[in-house]
Structure 1
Amino acid sequence: MAEPASATPPPAVVDVRDVRIAYGRRRKRVDIVKGVSFSIAPGETVGLVGESGSGKTTIGRGLLGLAPVVGGTITFRGQDITSLPRSRRRRLARDIQVVFQDPYSSLNPSMTIEDILAEPLHVAGMSEGRARVRELLRQVGLPDDTGARHPHEFSGGQRQRIAIARALALRPSLIICDEPTSALDLTTQAKVLDLLRDIQRDTGAAYLFISHDLGVVREISDRIAVLHDGEIVELGDSEQVSLRPAHPYTQRLQLATPVPNPDVQARRRRKRRELLEAGA
Structure 2
Amino acid sequence: MTSPILQVENLVVTYTGRHGLSKKVIDNVSLDLKAGETLSLVGESGSGKTTIGRAILGLAPVTEGGIKFRGETISNISRSQRRKVARGIQVVFQDPYSSLNPSMTVEDILVEPMAAAGAPGGRQRVRELLDSVGLPSDSGSRYPKEFSGGQRQRIAIARALALDPSVIICDEPTSALDVTTQARVLTLFKELQEQTGVAYLFISHDLGVVNSISDRIAVLYQGSVVEIGEADQVARAPRHDYTRRLQMAAPVADPKKQRERRAARLQLLAAEKAADVHQGAPAQL
TM-score, normalised on structure 2? 0.92
> CA–CA distance in 2 between the matches of 1:248 and 1:156?
35
Q: Is the 2:83–2:117 contact (alpha carbons within 8 Å) kept by the matching residues of 1? A: no
Work out the percentage of aligned pairs sharing the same amino acid. Answer: 60
- Structure 1 27/149 Cα, relative in aligned 2: closer, same or farther at 3 Å? closer
Residue among 140, 149, 171 paired with 1:178: 171
Match of 2:51 in 1: 58
| Deviation sequence 1:49-78 (CA, Å, 0-9, x none) | 000000011000000111111111111111
- CA-CA distance at 1:10 after TM superposition: 2.2
Q: Is the 2:40–2:214 contact (alpha carbons within 8 Å) kept by the matching residues of 1? A: yes
Residue among 61, 86, 95 paired with 1:93: 86
Q: Is the 1:121–1:129 contact (alpha carbons within 8 Å) kept by the matching residues of 2? A: no
- CA-CA distance at 1:239 after TM superposition: 0.2
For 2:211, the aligned partner's letter is: R
> CA–CA distance in 1 between the matches of 2:128 and 2:257?
46
Match of 2:11 in 1: 19
> Secondary structure in 1 aligned to 2:44?
coil
Matches within 5 A, 1:43-122: 43-122=36-115
Residue among 2, 17, 36 paired with 1:10: 2
> CA–CA distance in 1 between the matches of 2:20 and 2:102?
43
Match of 1:141 in 2: 134
Aligned residues: 272
> CA–CA distance in 1 between the matches of 2:230 and 2:157?
26
> Secondary structure in 1 aligned to 2:97?
helix
- CA-CA distance at 1:27 after TM superposition: 6.1
> Secondary structure in 2 aligned to 1:59?
helix
Q: Is the 2:5–2:35 contact (alpha carbons within 8 Å) kept by the matching residues of 1? A: yes
For 2:50, the aligned partner's letter is: T
- CA-CA distance at 1:38 after TM superposition: 1.0
| Deviation sequence 1:78-134 (CA, Å, 0-9, x none) | 101122122211221111111011111010101110011011111111232111111
> CA–CA distance in 1 between the matches of 2:119 and 2:68?
26
> Secondary structure in 2 aligned to 1:36?
strand
Please list every run of 5 or more consecutive structure 2 residues that lacks an aligned counterpart in the other structure.
277-285
TM-score, normalised on structure 1? 0.94
- Following TM superposition, where does structure 1 have runs of at least 4 consecutive aligned residues deviating by more than 4 angstroms? none
- CA-CA distance at 1:143 after TM superposition: 1.0
Please list every run of 5 or more consecutive structure 1 residues that lacks an aligned counterpart in the other structure.
1-8
